[in-house]
Amino acid sequence: MEDKNSPNKIKREKQIYWHSIQRLIKWSDIKHLTLEDDDTIRSYWDNEDNGFYGEIIRMVEETDEQHQKRIADNERHNKWLKEQRYKSYLKLKQEFEK
């Protein structure tokens, strides 16, 4: 499971195969892939499109660029949360000082 707040690099999902066809996935569709033991195969029916969808997901370590972006996004989000809490505090303070 991904810990998006970790200061260290984390493993992220990487889609290594995707299909959208009118039948279930067959071995011939994926035999060209080099699968690993921990790869996840997902397949499902979409009622709206009346078709099968499938994908194979592999957990890979995030790149340096992804890591730096995630850390920056977390910092920006935490700053926004702090600002929202402060705004709430000011509203409550005003309400209870009356």
pLDDT digits (tens, 9 = 90+) for 62-88: 999 999 999 999 999 999 999 999 999
Does the model's pTM come out above 0.95?
no
Q: What are phi and psi of 82, to 5 degrees?
A: -65, -40
Alpha-carbon distance values, 36 to 29, 53, 86 (Å): 16, 21, 48
Any domain includes 73? yes
Residues of the domain holding 40: 11-61
**Are 79 and 47 in the same domain?**
no
Any domain includes 3? no
Which residue is associated with the tokens 């078709």?
A: 51
**Are 71 and 43 in the same domain?**
no
User: Is residue 90 very low, low, confident or very high in pLDDT (cuts 50, 70, 90)?
Assistant: very high
Q: What is the number of structural domains in the chain?
A: 2
